Structure 1
Amino acid sequence: MPRALVTGASAGLGAQYAEQLARSGYDLILVARGEDRLQALAGTLTGRFGGRCDVLPADLSTPEGLALVEGRVASDDEPVDLLVNNAGFGTKGEFLASPVESEQQMLDVNVTALMRLCHAALPGMVRRGTGGVINVASVAAFLPSDTGPGYAASKAYVVAFTDSLAVTLQGTGVHVSVVCPGFVRTEFHERIEQDVSWIPRWAWLKAPEVVATSLRDHRAGRHRSVPSVKYKSVVQVLRVVPRAALRRVLVKSRALQHRPD
């Protein structure tokens, strides 16, 4: 059976990747900080689909946790065929009010851990002439952000990094792809106490559909996946709109939000 390692697997998109990959016949290695939720998910998936499901509790923002997962994806004894770099989070509030430690921790997970896990996994995949990586980014990668500049920048890194890896790995038999969803119904916004009441219902995506689209695009050899026609259109527009114009719109929006009644 092929084997996949999924980070941030205990909830949201990560749990969906685990479920859909298990349904497709993958053995799994589930990575997240909370062991109880991982064990519960592993038990459910094993009961439903019958494959092997190992849990690897680790905090990717710490050197010890990251080293543990690096060692696992680099192992040749039980090689990982697909790495899903899904773990990531945003910070609460605006950048100037956010503790610098929180900003650093976010970069440690969203950027450093993702890069290092790719660096650990890919040499073995290239030697074997097969394998893949899916990196989870966001449509936020293509936009300036007034409330989460660090998050948007971290996801821009993921997109640029994956684009470049796709060139580096051309002809090796190893495929990398990046998925850029818009707003998804998960625990993400609740965890950072972000007000999402202003977001229209049509803008929301469902986690199962996002994951199914990204897996389909990955298997088809596409290196960039933007789930849903509406967000594909958004990204196409953002490619041609000058960044200066986007910044002006954002500045005007902030001015309206902070205008006295």
Structure 2
Amino acid sequence: MTSMSYRGTTALITGASAGLGEEFARQWAQRGADVVLVARRLDRLEELAGTLKRDHGVTATPIAADLARPGAGAALKAELDERGIAVQTLINNAGFGSHGAVLDQEPDTITRMIQVNVTAVADLTRAFLPDLVADGRGALVTVASTAAYQPTPAMAVYGATKAFVLSLTEALAYETRRSALRVLAVSPGPVSTEFFDVVGTREAAVGRFSTPTQVVTAARRALERRSTPPSVVAGLANRLSAWAPRFAPRRLVLATAGRALQG
């Protein structure tokens, strides 16, 4: 495994205003990549862009965008084309969850979650994939979750969206296997970010908390392997918990997850 340089390339990172997205931006900028920072909070993006420019001498472009809006991915691609910005790496990090039974969830929350976690990921990926494959110097990274590996009562829609992300990314890794593009889904367990502030409770966290640095470093090191795996689970304990459901009856897996997440 070698530490790669991304100098001469541009990485687009969604959800870049905090947490994992901010850490992805820092680690890629440290290795010479210019970055396009996308999130809703422009003030946070501008502050991060200034820091990355000062510390690493890269170009950092903040763009405020709401990925819950239909067509947001295609609109972002069109904006970058108009600005003359070519992207070699796409990091689909934006996403959010909520805790509670589906019966108690606001329909608008469910719709918005599916739009951000599923539709925008597919839209962005399809919009940028031709350029990523043609260039071949970068990567396609999506942030899935250990929630993708089994049903998640009390976070049913969130878990289902991450199962989609994991399946999509692994399939894309196969479809593009003859290109130089590296494709990876990274699945963290609970991470010390604002995610659980949005969820509304830390009761939804199962397992030991990781830091954004640990998760992003795991993703970057997987990309730097001689043969990049289609997916990786960040953290040994998380890898064990992700593998365990494969060897147990589905009903038992469901009951275990329900007790862990619903309390």
TM-score normalised according to structure 2 size: 0.89
Mapping of residues 186-201 of structure 1, within 5 Å: 186-196=193-203
Aligned to 2:167: 160
- Pairing 1:179–2:198 present: no
Aligned to 1:81: 88
Aligned to 2:61: 54
- Pairing 1:218–2:223 present: yes
- Pairing 1:206–2:206 present: no
Q: Quick one: distance in 1 between partners of 2:47 and 2:37?
A: 11
Amino acid at match of 2:114: L
C-alpha contact 2:73 2:127 (8 A) present in aligned 1: no
Distance 1:209 1:118, change over 3 A: same
Q: Quick one: distance in 1 between partners of 2:135 and 2:205?
A: 48
Q: Quick one: distance in 2 between partners of 1:62 and 1:199?
A: 31
Classify the secondary structure of the residue corresponding to 1:20: helix
Shift of 1:98: 0.7
Alignment match of 1:68 (pick from 64, 71, 75): 75
Classify the secondary structure of the residue corresponding to 1:55: strand
Q: Quick one: distance in 2 between partners of 1:137 and 1:211?
A: 12
Aligned to 1:237: 244
Amino acid at match of 1:127: A
Which contiguous aligned blocks of 4+ residues in structure 1 show a shift greater than 2 angstroms?
A: 63-68, 70-78, 91-94, 125-131, 195-200, 248-255
Q: Quick one: distance in 1 between partners of 2:53 and 2:259?
A: 52
Amino acid at match of 1:211: V
Aligned to 1:128: 135
CA RMSD of aligned residues (A): 2.2
- Pairing 1:103–2:110 present: yes
Q: Quick one: distance in 2 between partners of 1:18 and 1:183?
A: 20
Shift of 1:231: 1.1
Aligned to 1:149: 156
Q: Quick one: distance in 2 between partners of 1:78 and 1:250?
A: 44
Choose between structure 1 and 2 for higher RCO, CA contacts under 8 A separated by at least 6 residues: 2
Instruction: Work out the number of aligned pairs and report it.
Output: 254
Larger Cα-atom Rg: 1
Amino acid at match of 2:93: N
Distance 1:232 1:184, change over 3 A: same
Query: Deviation digits for residues 103-145 of structure 1, max 9, x if unmatched?
Result: 0110000000001111011112223344320000000001211
Classify the secondary structure of the residue corresponding to 1:44: helix
C-alpha contact 2:204 2:261 (8 A) present in aligned 1: no
Range with greater deviation from structure 2 (179-188 or 242-251)? 242-251
Shift of 1:249: 3.0
Kindly, what percent of the aligned residue pairs are identical? 33
Query: Deviation digits for residues 193-218 of structure 1, max 9, x if unmatched?
Result: 11339866xx1111101101101102
Aligned to 2:177: 170
- Pairing 1:248–2:255 present: yes
